[in-house]
Amino acid sequence: MHSVAAPQMPAHRRLPELDGIRAIAVTLVIVGHLGSTLQIRSWMTFSRYVSSQFGVGMFFVLSGFLITRLLMGEEEKYGTINLRQFYLRRVLRIIPPAFLYLGTIKVLSVGHLFYCPWKHLASCAFFLKNIFVGSVSHGVRAAPVGHFWSLSVEEQFYLSWPMLLLLLGGRFRLTAVIAVLCLSVTGTEVYEHVHHWLLFREMSYLHWFESIAIGCGLALVRGDRAWMASSIARWLKHGALPLLAIPLSIAAEVMPVGSTFKEILQAGFVALILNYILESPGSAATRFLGIAPIAYIGRLSYSLYLWQELFTCGDSALGLRWFEKLPWAIPLTLICAMLSYYLLERPMIRLRNRLHTPPQISVADQFLVTAPDTSGDTPWSAT
């Protein structure tokens, strides 16, 4: 028997509290990178609990959730998913700022600030950096494009997941997420021991799909009326576990467990927090995340993530340049992110909105379209 779909929140309504989560995620990335250059570990004693990869994992959970929610909302409203429109929106949102950054890095490499061969640039431009990592000779300053591994994972998710959603019936979607999650964990461990040289486990789509899948699963179960009415769902909304998830997520950084299990734990905790925030719009946590300065940082999070690499990931062994040191690194990152956001991202967002056309369904087809059975825009760009 088909489960009944729960009403979806408006797919394109921007939620300030989710911008707050984006702000926390990008802050974790920046602080983690600054800590890796040994600039802040001496005076920030809690830096051992701050992981840039945890921030990236938060983005992945958000991405899985938001993209799935948007696609399900479109399907519920129009009876189908317009893949062409989806990919067009992703291209206009992701590509221009990313290519602006890559172009800037190439110009700086001409001035011998970095070593940036075309093959490294190509792996970033085609979003294959998580596969073709590349290497440079010892003693050479590598171009700050290493973070494109996570953007590559995102793009590979955008390419594959909408088609899978469209192909699978509602009753099979959550089952597919669970199955792929299990395969991801198993496959990651196998590749780590058998083909570590080929797949680069820490950067692979296979490895990080665990976090993305948990976000997808959250969107799917929130779209299931029967699940949302269950006692478990009510307990997760109002119980103490969502609040405990915050310290548990931080504590997981130093737990004596394997990285795969740690990332699954953290992704699960992030999903609990996200569900709590969505179900408790008037709570203190939601109000805090919606504070204007925090939400503003969240809106800048994509540009901040792109540009922070230039200023926070210097090579300590070769000596940090002035723009890679505190206090300059923070304001320079913010200035570049704001320029990218206002001069490029916002015009592209307006263009994307103008080009958006909803799926057209004929009157005859409307009688053939069954109500979606859902058994039951990047983390920085899905809305």
Asked if 201 and 272 count as a contact pair (C-beta separation under 8 A), the reply is no
Average pLDDT, the chain: 79
Query: What is the distance between the alpha carbons of residues 56 and 164, in angstroms, rounded to a whole number?
Result: 24
Quote the percentage of the chain above a pLDDT of 90.
36
* pLDDT at residue 367 in the model: 33
Q: Which residue has the higher pLDDT, 214 or 279?
A: 214
Q: Which residue has the higher pLDDT, 43 or 15?
A: 15
Give first-to-last CA distance, the chain, whole Å.
33
Q: Residue 27: which of 234, 232, 296, 208 has the closest Cα?
A: 296
What's the whole-model pTM score?
0.84
Sign of the alpha-carbon torsion through 54, 59, 64, 66: positive
Residue 330 has pLDDT above 90, yes or no: yes
Quote the percentage of the chain above a pLDDT of 70.
71
Q: Residue 118: which of 56, 76, 126 has the closest Cα?
A: 126
Asked if 229 and 210 count as a contact pair (C-beta separation under 8 A), the reply is no
The average pLDDT across 17-40 equals 85
The average pLDDT across 331-338 equals 97
* pLDDT at residue 291 in the model: 94
* pLDDT at residue 32 in the model: 85
The average pLDDT across 350-356 equals 86
Q: What is the pLDDT of residues 263-321, one digit of tens each?
A: 888 888 899 889 888 888 888 888 999 999 999 999 999 999 999 999 998 877 778 88
DSSP letters for 181-227: HHHHHHHHHHHHHHSHHHH-GGG-HHHHHHHHHHHHHHHHHHTBHHH
* pLDDT at residue 50 in the model: 66
Instruction: Determine the 3-state secondary structure of 332 from DSSP.
Output: helix
Query: What is the distance between the alpha carbons of residues 90 and 155, in angstroms, rounded to a whole number?
Result: 9
Q: Which residue has the higher pLDDT, 223 or 60?
A: 60
* pLDDT at residue 259 in the model: 67
User: Among 171-185, 227-241, 311-325, which is the least confidently predicted range?
Assistant: 227-241
Residue 169 has pLDDT above 80, yes or no: no
Q: Which residue has the higher pLDDT, 213 or 183?
A: 213
Query: What is the distance between the alpha carbons of residues 19 and 17, in angstroms, rounded to a whole number?
Result: 5
* pLDDT at residue 364 in the model: 37
Map tokens 């003693």 to a residue. 139
* pLDDT at residue 119 in the model: 87
Query: What is the distance between the alpha carbons of residues 264 and 250, in angstroms, rounded to a whole number?
Result: 13
Residue 334 has pLDDT above 60, yes or no: yes
